[in-house]
Amino acid sequence: MSSKTSSVAWTEFKSNPISIIGLTLVCFCIGLALLADFITPYPAHVGPIGDFTAINQAPSAAHWFGTDTIGRDLLTRIIYGFRLSLIMAVMVLSISMPVGVVLGLLAGYLGGWVEFVLMRLTDIFLAIPPLVLAMAIMGFLPATLTNAMLAVTVMWWPWYTRLVYNVVRSEAREGYVLAAEVIGASPLHTMFREILPNCVPAILTKLTLDVGFVVLMVSSLSFLGLGVQPPTPDLGSMVADGAKYMPDAWWLSIFPALAIMVLVLGFNLLGDGLREAFDAEV
C-alpha cells in the first residue's frame, strides 16, 4: 500500500466519529491496563486476600464498584482484569495471526495440493463453533490460564488463513504479481514482498476486531469455569462468581459484565472504523 492511500485512509478514519469513539475507548482500556499498578486504589487486592472488615460492600466513595465476598475492591480487580484480558488477546493473536497468514499465503500462492490440504483443514476447523472447539480442547487439558490461551490460539488461526487466502486469490491475478514473476522474482519474494503488503489493511482490520472477540471468547471460557482459575482476576470468572450473589450483591457480576462490554465495544468500533477507512473486506 502506498503512503498516499494510507494518508487517504487516515483522513477518512479521522472524520468518522465511530472510529474516534472506538479509539478513545481502546486507549482508555489500554491505559488502565498499563497503569494498573499505579492507579488502582487497592493494588494488593489482586491476589486472594482482601480486607475482611469490608466484605460485600455496595458501591461507595471508597469502593466505586463495591467489594466482593472477601472484601476485595472490585474496581481494582476489574482494571487488572482488563490487563489480563488484553495480555491474553495479544498472546493469542501474536501466535495465531502469523501462523494463519503464512498458511493462507502458501495456500493461495502455491495452489495445488498445498491449497487443497490447507483449505480443507481450515474448513474442518471452521465447521465447529469456536467456543465449542476451545471448550473441547480444554476438556483434554487442565484448566489453566496458559491452556486457555493455547485452546483459543489453536482455533483462531484458520480465520486468518481464509482471509489471506481470499485476498491472495484476488490479488494473484493483478498485474504487479505477474510482473514480479516475469522478472524472475522468487516465490518467497513474491509472497512476502509483493502480495503480503496488500493484505495488510485487511489483516490489521481483522486484528483489531479480533482483540475484542478473543477477549469475548476467553471470558466466555472462564465464565464456564474452563479458563483462568481464581484468584487471578478475570472478568469472565468474576461474572460467574458474582452471579451466585444476585440480586443482593448485584455489583459483583454487573460491573465486570459491563467492563467486558466496554472493552469489546471499543475494539469493535475501532475495527469498524478501520474497515471503512481501508475499505477492507473482512
Partner 1 sequence: MNPVLRLLLQRLAISLLVLVGVSILIFFVARVVPGDPARIALGPNASQAAVDAMREARHLNDPLIIQYGWFVRDLAQGDLGTSLYTRRPVTTDIAAYLPATLELVFVAGAMMILLGLPLGRLAARYAKRGPDHAARFAAVVAVCTPAFVWGVILQLLLAYIWPIFPLEGRLSNGVDAPPGITGFYTLDSLMAGQFATFFDALYHLILPATALALSGIGQSARLTRSSMIETYRKPFIEMSRAYGFREDRISRRYAFRPALIPTLTILGLDFAAMLANAFLVERVFVWPGLSRYGVEVILRKDLDAIVGVVLVIAAMFLVTNLIVDLIVSIINPRIRLAERRAKS
Report the interface residues with partner 1, using CB under 8 A. Answer: 120-121, 123-125, 127-133, 135-141, 143, 212, 216, 219-220, 223-226, 236, 239-240, 242-243, 246-247, 250, 253-254, 257-258, 260-261, 264-265, 268-269, 272
Euclidean distance between CA atoms 155 and 96, whole angstroms: 8
* Minimum distance of partner 1 from residue 184's CB (angstroms): 33
* Minimum distance of partner 1 from residue 187's CB (angstroms): 27
Q: Is 151 or 191 the residue whose CB approaches partner 1 more closely? A: 151
Q: Is 42 or 223 the residue whose CB approaches partner 1 more closely? A: 223
* Minimum distance of partner 1 from residue 15's CB (angstroms): 15
Q: Is 33 or 264 the residue whose CB approaches partner 1 more closely? A: 264
Greatest distance between any 2 Cα atoms in the chain: 76
Cell numbers describing residue 19:
472510529
* Minimum distance of partner 1 from residue 105's CB (angstroms): 22
DSSP bridge partners of 73: 67
Tell me how far CA of residue 277 lies from CA of 2, 10, 14, 196, in angstroms.
Answer: 15, 7, 9, 19
* Minimum distance of partner 1 from residue 159's CB (angstroms): 12
Q: Is 106 or 239 the residue whose CB approaches partner 1 more closely? A: 239
Q: Is 6 or 229 the residue whose CB approaches partner 1 more closely? A: 229
Residues in the chain: 282
Q: Is 190 or 222 the residue whose CB approaches partner 1 more closely? A: 222
Euclidean distance between CA atoms 232 and 77, whole angstroms: 9
Nearest to 91 by CA among 271, 186, 258, 228: 228
* Minimum distance of partner 1 from residue 257's CB (angstroms): 4
Cβ atoms of 275 and 198 within 8 Å: the answer is no
* Minimum distance of partner 1 from residue 175's CB (angstroms): 23
Cβ atoms of 143 and 227 within 8 Å: the answer is yes
The 10 Å Cβ neighbour count of residue 263 is 28
- Provide the 3-class DSSP secondary structure of residue 73: strand
- If residue 76 lies in a helix (H) or strand (E), which one and from where to where? helix 74-110
The 10 Å Cβ neighbour count of residue 60 is 11
Q: Is 17 or 41 the residue whose CB approaches partner 1 more closely? A: 17
Euclidean distance between CA atoms 8 and 51, whole angstroms: 54
Q: Is 38 or 140 the residue whose CB approaches partner 1 more closely? A: 140
* Minimum distance of partner 1 from residue 189's CB (angstroms): 31
Residues with Cβ within 8 Å of 14's Cβ and at least 6 positions away in sequence, in order, are 20
Nearest to 252 by CA among 237, 262, 231: 237
